[in-house]
Amino acid sequence: LTAEDTGCYGLDIDSNFPDLLDKITNINGEYRINIYALNPKWVVEYIDELEKIVKKGKIKAICIPIQSGNTRILTHMNRYSDVEKIKSAFIRLKKANSDLTLATHCIVGFPSETDQEFIETLDFIKATNLDLGIIMSMSIKTDTEAESIEPKISREEISKRLILNLNTKSYYL
């Protein structure tokens, strides 16, 4: 299941994403579902329902693009920014079914991101025991809010963060 914002399914038809998942996972047969682009805000909002659905064992993988493990950076990105609630939801999903593959996307080098803020993203990954992830370097598009945020993080610094921090085996995805 994928969409631009998978978790907002049903808001226009008086339904919601957990209702859809519940109906699909109640279909008899051998199958597994992969869910992509599930915004962290929906995971937090629907965690009670998602936890019950994940326990059924029909969900194989969920990709929840956190983008950063730092509240300030997430706020600059105009994304859901309660890192502790996101972390708690990830941990609950993993406990609900240890075979569930949890994946994410992160961005390194968002304008003004400090080394410590990047390390907080790596700490988030470690704390939530993610199975898979993609860490992408920031690329600024013209006419976006990010274009006006200073200081910019150089390509060299982004590469340094990736090489130095990802080569420490404690942070592998």
| Top-confidence residue, 53 or 129 | 53
- pLDDT at residue 78 is higher than 90: yes
Confidence of residue 172 (pLDDT cuts 50, 70, 90): very low
pLDDT, position 161: 87
Residues 129 and 104: their CA atoms lie apart, in Å, by 11
The whole-model pTM stands at: 0.90
Residue 166 pLDDT: 59
158 vs 52: CA distance, rounded Å: 39
Q: Within 13 Å, how many C-alpha atoms sit on residue 16's CB side?
A: 8
pLDDT band at 133 (very low <50, low <70, confident <90, very high): confident
pLDDT surpassing 70 at residue 96: yes
13-22, 100-109, 137-146: which has the minimum mean pLDDT? 137-146
Measured CA to CA, the distance from residue 145 to residue 10 in angstroms comes to 30
